[in-house]
Amino acid sequence: MAPEDAAAWKRGTLWQVRVQPADGDTWVQEFGLHTPGEAVAGFLAALVAHSSL
């Protein structure tokens, strides 16, 4: 998702993925302005493929 937070734009963050597992700590991965959308999509696809849902 694209962050709506102005502070994210100041950090150069365009994409932010937040993972909230049921039995673990929340973690966040941010991708910058120069990260291709295809790379973010690949990251998400790998995350979903290896999830324990």
Strand positions, DSSP E, the chain: 13-19, 27-32
Segment (H or E) for 11: helix 6-11
Q: Which two tokens stand for residue 25?
A: 């700590």
pTM higher than the cut 0.75:
no
Query: In this predicted model, what pLDDT tens digit does every residue of 1-53 receive, in sequence order?
Result: 455 677 877 888 888 899 888 888 999 999 998 999 999 999 999 999 988 65
